[in-house]
Every structure is written in C-alpha cells, then in structure tokens.
Amino acid sequence: MNFLDIISSLLLFAGTFFAFSGAVGLFRFPDFFTRVHAASLTDSIAAILMIAGLLLQTSFDLNTAKLIFILVFLLITSPTASHALAKSARHGGLLLFTEKPTKQGGTNQDD
C-alpha cells in the first residue's frame, strides 16, 4: 500500500463518515428544514471526499474526467434539489420547529 493509497483510503473513510452522520441527522433533527440541512451538507462533503479518494486511484485518463464530471454534476444538482425541496416544503406549509402552528393551519406533522 503506497502513500497515495493511504491518502485515498483516508479520504474514503472521511467521506463515509460524513455520509453516515448525514443519515443520522435525517432521523435525529427536530424538523424538516434542519433535516434538509443535515442531508444536503453532508451529501456535498461526502461526495467531494469520496470522489477525491477515487480520483487518486486513477491515472489521469478518461476515468478522471468522468469522476470530475460526476463531482461537478453532484455539486451543482444536489444543493439545487435540496433548495427546491425546502422551498416547496415552506410553500406547502411546513413550519420550523421554533414556530408555532397558526390558525391558518401549518401542518407540522412531526413524530
């Protein structure tokens, strides 16, 4: 196992750690918006770390380009998706956990 391999394993490990913490956040956070926060931030960092880890395994060929393409694509689309989702949720009447349901009917159906 050479030096590059070690770094790449560390990056992969860190990536999985963040992915895992995001998944935990999906369950543990109090309301939808914090959960989006958890999921989307860790999505990005996990993608960056893991793909960086994989990049070190390539020898600068087509695969490198593809990996970078995937990374760029994920970094563009994933936060956008989270943004759009949060916006729809707000529009659809979900409330922050600090807010109280009003008479017009917020539907904070938290468990």
Partner 1 sequence: MTTIFAAAAIAILVVMAMALTRAFTAPTVYDRILGVNMFGTKTVLFIAVIGYLMGRPDFLDIAIVYALINFVGMVAVLRYFEYTAPIE
Partner 2 sequence: MIEWIDLILLGMLALTALRVIFLKDLFAVVMLFGIYSFLSALVFIVLDAVDVAFTEAAVGAGISTVLMLGTLALTGRTEKENTHSKLLPILVVSVTGAALIYGTLDMPPFGNPDNPIHQHVAPRYIEDSPKEVGLPNMVTSVLASYRGFDTLGETVVVFSAAIGVLALLGIRREEDNNTPESGFKEHRVLQIVAKITIPLVILFALYVQFHGDFGPGGGFQAGVIAAAAFILYGLVFGLAKSMAVISPMFLRYMAASGVLLYAGVGLFSMMQGGNFLDYNLLASDPVAGQHYGILIIELGVGITVFAVMLTIFYAFASQTERSNIQ
Q: Which residues bind partner 2 (CB under 8 A)?
A: 69, 73, 76-77, 80, 83-84, 87
User: Which of partner 1, partner 2, none interacts with 83 (beta carbon under 5 to 8 A by kind)?
Assistant: partner 2
CB 96, min distance to partner 1, A: 13
Residue 5 interacts with partner 1 (CB under 8 A)? yes
CA pseudo-torsion sign 53, 59, 63, 64 = positive
Q: Decide whether 40 or 100 has the Cβ nearer to partner 2.
A: 40
d(CA 89, CA 4): 43
d(CA 37, CA 15): 17
Which of 95, 88, 91 lies closest to 34 in space, CA to CA?
95
Pattern 19-38, partner 1, x by CB under 8 A: xx-xxx-xx----x--xx--
